[in-house]
Structure 1
């Protein structure tokens, strides 16, 4: 086994920081000096000393740069620099770790630069720029979750509203702007939902539904109703969730998109599962699976439904068995959901892996659960999602109740990570 010290380990030793306590003290004092509110743990220091270390977060990156006087790239950490301009697309998000805020600054730059005054005419170019900003928010959410992205979405919504209220445009452009405002409000709602701020999410969904009603736009109305169904089930209101999904289904039939109907059917199945109507839930989930397999025969699904597919349905099947108490039966579906999930969906991969860890410990596979739980920390490095944080706490509590050395060790690592995440 190669024992050659890494560049980072060599530089730490040269400065007398080769012991965790010494390094953490130096890091803390440097962070205070440069005004960065960030802390590291023994575990992070150990991982940084190993070959192929994870990329530090931007605040930690800046502290390391100040400590050593050289870029962390020269210490063996992967790039890019947090301040670097990074061009990324959904197809490459899994290959490049991108600072969330640097990436969104690039993605939304054109839309942010709009300063439409009362004498400025708004045209198709403005619509395209603002729409591109919204698509960038979708990409960021898929990769990183709603925690950091939500404030950016709110700012984008303000831009759209400013254009609406200060610009000059014909009615055709005005309708497109209003629809864009509704779609952006819906995205704000989703991001706050993912961050587990349900009251704020409900307010933005209400705004989006008002816009959909005003414009009589079926697509936006279906999206909001399906989203409200999901939220209702998440909050323990499955009857509301079912009724909202049925309302979305009634409006979606005429659109002729099998994938959209499959997504809505899966929301119905989730609500029925929580209502303890397992027979109806299984039937509706089977309908959902058949419809997604016919996705190429009807109209294409809307862009926002691109995430829906076999991974999502495997996950739904696993949750159905979990709610019924059949934890051993749930595990293969949860494992398949993780295996099938596209790597561009970083937040979903983190959630799926933690849910698999939960299912394993509930099925009595404690050692494997502990391994999956610790392994999930790799996915969490760049994810900010309240739903994922809640699932992490569930897994930690379940492991704490298991009488096994692997469970205790994993529980300690999860606790340490959660504390560091809260402090950072």
Structure 2
């Protein structure tokens, strides 16, 4: 599947062949030209998953204007030409918004840092954001690999390998769901994905979430790339039935969100942003509002942690617009908390409190059958923990500590990672509230959990707490915490 961030023809508009681009390709085959595109991308530090199929779509007029990554590559390859010279339509006519001037920085007056990918860049009927998209690097939907040529080989193997290949790809995570075709001859007779492959992708999502709940993201992220590659290769192969195709799209999108979360929690923010963007693109291609709301929800959380509070607010608000018709009060409650976190980052206490009030009122309506499957983690503990984060951001440490302590007490033992996260947050809140002895005790409890849980996010929080406690070495428990913290293995 080529990068989903390209802009294809608008619905109802007949595709017009791009003869200028075909002429630029010259005597080379589409595959040969795709290899040149990938090589040119590497020359300027870009990564694009360009293949013969993508070139064919451009020449057929299906892609009326490339995304910004491909734009930079094409202009590098043909420095004496413009996108119009290459047969592409002006970006404003495709996206319905003005084109971004080359090199334009993020909008002035914001406290955000520009990221590698702007998730609002894809045309979104639900989003009324008027800001132009920020520069970004492209998304590589199949994880990190040595070369694009190798990736092409892997993708062809996935597309022709049937269920046996799916099982092998899921094996690194212990994801060998039942119902997959194990026999090579049977796989040859049924090379296109069916219900068993769709079920395998859905099961992969569940297993990854389960492992993350118990152990955290570090060490899991790299291994999760194989099921994600498989899921998108299955989409490329094409299902025979529409219902199966819809399940595959939804499953692949949820898998992209899950892998994005693993990247997020392990400190790989650029990777996480790209995975969430891919999930958004997948959702929009099929009109999957539930998936789109989930992707925006995680994008808001990432934006908060990455120091882009305004983006966190915008993403959370977009998610709420999309999720409102879905009928889940719990989902709307969580999204209101995401918005509150963004307002806290912008130091807007009034807006933060309004969002928190809305979140708690929605939560009081209780669970329902409309709640998404992925929201199993959301309960009293998460509500308290996310509210505590808002008060921490606003600098109200004693108030934050009260809510965080409640989150630790209420957390179900199954969610070992969240227990460690909330306890680390409690340690930091207590340290900043001027209670170093209690902070050290909480920090020691976290260190005891780190043999079971691997999370760069928690490591970062503990490091911050250790810095705050350095001047309080005479307080009870602080020397022991600082000493044990220095012995904590560094996560790669």
Tell me if TM exceeds 0.5.
yes
Note the 1:246-265 alignment, pairs <5 A: 246-265=317-336
Q: Which has more helix, going by share of residues? A: 1
Structure 2 partner of 1:354: 424
- Of the three residues 317, 330, 343, the one matched with 2:400 is 330
C-alpha displacement at 1:310, in angstroms? 1.3
Which segment is superposed worse, 126-135 or 376-385?
A: 126-135
- Of the three residues 345, 356, 365, the one matched with 1:285 is 356
Using the alignment, how far apart are the partners of 1:323 and 1:204 within structure 2? 26
Note the 1:368-407 alignment, pairs <5 A: 368-405=438-475, 406-407=477-478
Structure 2 partner of 1:366: 436
Instruction: Go from structure 1 to structure 2 and tell me whether the alpha carbon gap of 1:167 and 1:300 turns closer, same or farther (over 3 Å shift).
Output: closer
Unpaired runs of 5+ residues, structure 1, are 1-101
Using the alignment, how far apart are the partners of 2:204 and 2:235 within structure 1? 16
Give per-residue Cα distances to partners, 1:127-178, cap 9 Å, x unaligned: 2233112211110111111112212321111222333344662232122212
| 2:210 equivalent to 1:122 | no
Q: TM-score, normalised by structure 2?
A: 0.61
Q: TM-score, normalised by structure 1?
A: 0.70
Give per-residue Cα distances to partners, 1:375-395, cap 9 Å, x unaligned: 211211121211111111111
Structure 2 partner of 1:131: 202
Which segment is superposed worse, 298-307 or 106-115?
A: 106-115
Structure 1 partner of 2:381: 311
Q: Residue 125 of structure 1: SS of its match in structure 2? A: helix
Structure 2 partner of 1:27: none
Q: Aligned-residue CA RMSD in angstroms?
A: 2.3
- Contact 2:204–2:255, Cα closer than 8 Å, also in 1: no
C-alpha displacement at 1:112, in angstroms? 8.2
Structure 1 partner of 2:486: 415
Structure 2 partner of 1:99: none
Structure 2 partner of 1:49: none
Unpaired runs of 5+ residues, structure 2, are 1-169
Instruction: Go from structure 1 to structure 2 and tell me whether the alpha carbon gap of 1:118 and 1:399 turns closer, same or farther (over 3 Å shift).
Output: farther
Structure 2 partner of 1:196: 267
Using the alignment, how far apart are the partners of 2:362 and 2:379 within structure 1? 10
Structure 1 partner of 2:66: none
C-alpha displacement at 1:200, in angstroms? 0.8
- Contact 1:186–1:224, Cα closer than 8 Å, also in 2: yes
Note the 1:334-345 alignment, pairs <5 A: 334-345=404-415
Aligned length: 319
- Contact 1:108–1:136, Cα closer than 8 Å, also in 2: no
- Contact 1:257–1:295, Cα closer than 8 Å, also in 2: no
Using the alignment, how far apart are the partners of 1:331 and 1:223 within structure 2? 28
Structure 1 partner of 2:251: 180
Using the alignment, how far apart are the partners of 2:389 and 2:236 within structure 1? 45
C-alpha displacement at 1:319, in angstroms? 2.1
